[in-house]
Amino acid sequence: NPYISGEPVRNPDMFFVRQTLLMRILSALHQNSILILGERRIGKTTLLYQLGEMLRQIEDRNWVFIPVAIDLEGTPQDRFFYSLMESIHGVLCAYLTQGTATLRWEELTPLEYGDRDFTADLRFLIDTLRDKIWPRNLRVVLLMDEMDVISTFEPLVQLQFRRIFMS
């Protein structure tokens, strides 16, 4: 049995059998969102690590994929959008060669920062990156772990999150 119960597997040499699943996910990422749902301890986090690594290594003349790993475990509702932007900002700024304009995320406290601030900051970062990678297409891929946390949030926050990613 090649599976080891414990910490998520980060070493690609220890990642067995699921390459076909990874390839199916990769082929769908151009225009889709994907949810990986399963019981605890079956390898979802390992799959996210491996997907992130594959996305970083892809050399595609039409697409640039930027994976952003986000662990939502322990994220309180009132810091949700702030925490998302903290993770996204940390990764996307590494792709920008020059500093960007000040984001709302940098000016507001975590409790003040809401869905509309997140949307504005995300659009600004994506538009800035699109200009840098033109003529290729951009996909920022959020590899969100422990998504069940969101089910504990108020319905309004869940709808705000859905609205952001539907647009």
The DSSP-derived string for 111-133 is TT--HHHHHHHHHHHHHHHHHHH
131: which residues sit within 8 A by CB, 6+ positions away?
none
Report d(CA 119, CA 49) in Å as an integer.
26
Look at residues 12, 59, 57, 51 and name the one whose alpha carbon lies nearest to residue 35: 51
Q: pLDDT by residue (tens digit) across 5-16? A: 666 656 665 555
Could you tell me the pTM of the whole model? 0.84
pLDDT given for residue 1 in this prediction: 44
Q: pLDDT by residue (tens digit) across 92-115? A: 988 886 666 789 999 999 999 999
Assess contact for 14 and 123: CB atoms under 8 A: no
Q: pLDDT by residue (tens digit) across 38-89? A: 887 777 888 888 899 889 999 889 999 999 999 999 999 999 999 999 999 9
Residue 26 CB neighbour total at 10 angstroms: 15
Identify residue 148 by its one-letter amino acid code. D
Q: What are phi and psi of 29, to 5 degrees?
A: -70, -15
pLDDT given for residue 12 in this prediction: 60
